[in-house]
Amino acid sequence: MKKIDFQRGTCAVFTAVFLLFGIAACDSLSNRRGGNNIQEVRHEFPNTNWAFEEEVLDFNFTIEDTAKYYDVSVALVYDTTVAVLHDIPLSLTLSTPDGMKSFSSSHFLLNRKENPDIKPTGDGNNAEIDVVVYPRRKFKVPGTYTLTLYRRADKADNFGFVSLSAKVRTVK
């Protein structure tokens, strides 16, 4: 007669349950800290050309919780072997649901020697730069906000640019 070892099976079940609860707890904790609470609105550039017609772009996002603070950033994905611009000046306007506007300026610095924040995307020669344009922003009104980005580059056509995104993250 073969003896059944219940101790090994029970240990495996307890380990699996413990791991599931651990993963759920970590996920809940990162959500409270804002780790996973990201809204991203992405615009793809046809033929990797940030053309003159797309010099002004609007990104809409929704804010429901006005008690939290948010970082609003813009992220550019570009081909490092094709893009010839090294600095892209930006003017930004953030419009609230009740019609108020705030203005900001920033830039993408695409020179890797001068900007250590450029990160490879893992997709060929593509790299990404993420610039926080409105740090620790507290939104007073729930609803849909519009981030308008105006690219002030000198050239009409700018090849090597894959996409531009607006990201809104909760912060502590």
Segment 102-158, tens digit of pLDDT: 999 999 999 888 899 999 998 889 999 999 999 999 999 999 999 999 998 777 788
- Same domain? 20 vs 42: no
Q: Which residues pair with 131 in a beta bridge?
A: 74
Is a pLDDT exceeding 80 seen at residue 43?
Answer: yes
For 23, the domain range is: 1-33
Which residues, 6+ apart, have CB-to-CB distance to 20 below 8 Å? none
- Same domain? 124 vs 49: yes
CA gap 159, 152 in Å, rounded: 15
Is a pLDDT exceeding 70 seen at residue 168?
Answer: yes
- Same domain? 78 vs 25: no
Which residues, 6+ apart, have CB-to-CB distance to 62 below 8 Å? 39, 143, 144, 145
DSSP label of 140:
S
- Same domain? 13 vs 58: no
Is a pLDDT exceeding 70 seen at residue 25?
Answer: no
pTM above 0.85, yes or no: no
Say which CATH number the domain at 152 has.
2.60.120
**Contact (Cβ atoms closer than 8 angstroms) between residue 58 and residue 148:** yes
Structure tokens at 6: 């219940």
- Same domain? 72 vs 18: no
Best CA proximity match to 170, nearest among 28, 26, 38: 38
Best CA proximity match to 52, nearest among 163, 149, 147, 151: 151
Q: Higher model confidence: residue 77 or residue 111?
A: 77
pLDDT at 156: 74
- Same domain? 25 vs 50: no
Q: Higher model confidence: residue 16 or residue 110?
A: 110
Residue 30: pLDDT band (50, 70, 90) is: very low
Q: Looking at this protein, which amino acid is placed at residue 33?
A: R
DSSP label of 81:
T
Q: Looking at this protein, which amino acid is placed at residue 165?
A: S
**What is the domain count for the chain?**
2
- Same domain? 99 vs 135: yes
**Segment 55-74, tens digit of pLDDT:** 999 999 999 999 999 999 99
By percentage, how much of the chain surpasses pLDDT 90?
Answer: 62
- Same domain? 4 vs 57: no
